[in-house]
Amino acid sequence: MTVRPTLLILSFSPIASDARVLKQVRMLAQDHDVTTCGYGPAVVLDDGRVVEHLRVDDENEHWRKAPVPLLARQYRRVYWGNAAVAQARDLLAGRTFDIVLADDVDAVPLALSTEPRWGVHADLHEYAPKQNTELRRWRWFVAPYMRWLCRRFVTRCASVTTVAQGIADEYERRFGFRAGVVTNASPYQDLAPGPVGSPVRLVHSGVALRNRSLEILVDAVAASTADVTLDLFLVPNDPGYLAELRERAAGEPRVRIHDPLPYAELVRTLNGFDVGLHLLPPVSFNNANALPNKIFDYVQARLGVVVGPSPEMARVVRAHGVGAVTADFTPAALTAVLDTLTAEQVEGWKAASHASARELSSESQVEIWREAIEALRP
């Protein structure tokens, strides 16, 4: 009987609902005995197996950093004194794995401390040192800590991946390690484009955060003369901001704000719309270089896609002919695109998404993780 390698997936996120980490679990559990460590319930695989899970308590928030040692730049105290890290360390005490996959920078030091037999692979979900550079206090106090994590720990990993080429380039330029790219592509969905609606049905799904500037979408539709509607499915990450959006949309009958959809239902629900929207002003390095999963969700839903001139998103939209890129990130620029929409144009975009769906699916992307993990085996 062949002994399967043991693999720990460490992520300070609710793993069963974290789309990127969930893809790792499902793919790697095919050939490894996987254990997960993070928030939330255990992952249940498609065949009914429940993945072994070491659960970190929700109240132990990984993003909290003790202010006194942070200000004093006592970064080891900041890291190992974090409640989530401390609990995860206790849960992992005495356990040894062949490989550890660390999701995001905060997981890397703990992953290395477990001393896996064959090494650590780090998957960095964004460019950590510039995560919230629009906030002055973050730039002054947290960014140096993130740079320390990258410099002292990520550079010791056997291999690294991240979400977009611009981010990979910046990691190499700043810290010297080369990262592969695994996009946040969605699993392939066997769907067909629906007929274009009248009015044309616009949609956006995602988190309600102030730095996403979702009011751009609301204001653009309100100013448009086109026969369109806009539905937003929003996760209430910032309840105050979401309340402001609801108030802003209240006077525009063509705009509706909904509760978020379970990820398992998201793409099939989106399939009932026509065009997915995402304009993300470049208020931070990560926003400027974003290639988020929603772009791939829209393609799997066989929608047209309209984005702002973000380089990574614009490249995908233009290369595959699935939509349009606005001139800038203002409501006026989006209104200008909406005002020229025709049913024939949208039908063409939806057909292009259908033609590109398999190429842009996660099935082609997760193989990069498999190859990276396989490369660690002796």
Q: Give me the pLDDT at residue 142, please.
A: 94
Q: Is residue 72 part of a domain?
A: yes
Same domain flag for 66 and 172: yes
Q: Give me the pLDDT at residue 1, please.
A: 54
The count of structural domains within the chain is 2
- Would you say 299 and 305 are in contact if contact means Cβ atoms under 8 Å apart? yes
Structural domain boundaries enclosing 164: 6-185+362-374
For residue range 300-318, list pLDDT tens digits in order. 999 999 999 999 999 999 9
Q: Is residue 193 part of a domain?
A: no
User: What number is the average pLDDT over the span 218-223?
Assistant: 97
Say whether pTM exceeds 0.85.
no
Q: Give me the pLDDT at residue 113, please.
A: 98
Same domain flag for 252 and 311: yes
Same domain flag for 112 and 211: no
Q: In this structure, what CATH number is given to the domain that contains residue 53? A: 3.40.50.2000
Q: Give me the pLDDT at residue 262, please.
A: 86
Same domain flag for 179 and 304: no
User: Would you say residue 133 has pLDDT above 80?
Assistant: no
Cα–Cα distance measured from residue 283 to residue 256, given in angstroms and rounded to the nearest whole number: 26
Same domain flag for 151 and 252: no
């997915």: which residue's tokens?
Answer: 276
Q: Give me the pLDDT at residue 134, please.
A: 75
Same domain flag for 170 and 275: no
Cis ω before 199 (30° cut-off from 0): yes
pLDDT greater at residue 89 or residue 286: 89
Q: Is residue 113 part of a domain?
A: yes
Q: Give me the pLDDT at residue 131, please.
A: 84
Same domain flag for 220 and 344: yes
CA distances (Å), 82 to each of 38, 66, 78, 152, in order?
A: 14, 7, 6, 18
Q: Is residue 195 part of a domain?
A: no
* Encoded tokens for 365: 């992307």
Same domain flag for 239 and 348: yes
Q: Give me the pLDDT at residue 51, please.
A: 94
Q: Is residue 191 part of a domain?
A: no
User: What number is the average pLDDT over the span 173-177?
Assistant: 96
Same domain flag for 231 and 177: no
Q: Give me the pLDDT at residue 162, please.
A: 96
- Would you say 335 and 223 are in contact if contact means Cβ atoms under 8 Å apart? yes
Q: Is residue 175 part of a domain?
A: yes
Q: Is residue 194 part of a domain?
A: no
User: What number is the average pLDDT over the span 164-184?
Assistant: 95
DSSP conformation letters of 13-79 = EEGGG-HHHHHHHHHHTTTSEEEEEEESSPPBPTTSPBPEEEEPPTTS-TT---HHHHHTT-HHHHH
Same domain flag for 210 and 102: no
Q: Is residue 53 part of a domain?
A: yes
- Computed over every residue of the chain, the mean pLDDT equals 95
Q: Kindly state the percentage of the chain with pLDDT values over 90.
A: 89
Q: Give me the pLDDT at residue 263, please.
A: 79
User: Would you say residue 32 has pLDDT above 60?
Assistant: yes
User: What number is the average pLDDT over the span 257-269?
Assistant: 91
Report helix, strand and coil shares of the chain as percent, to nearest 5. Answer: 45, 20, 40
Q: How confident is the model at residue 284 (pLDDT cuts 50, 70, 90)?
A: confident
For residue range 56-70, list pLDDT tens digits in order. 999 999 999 999 999
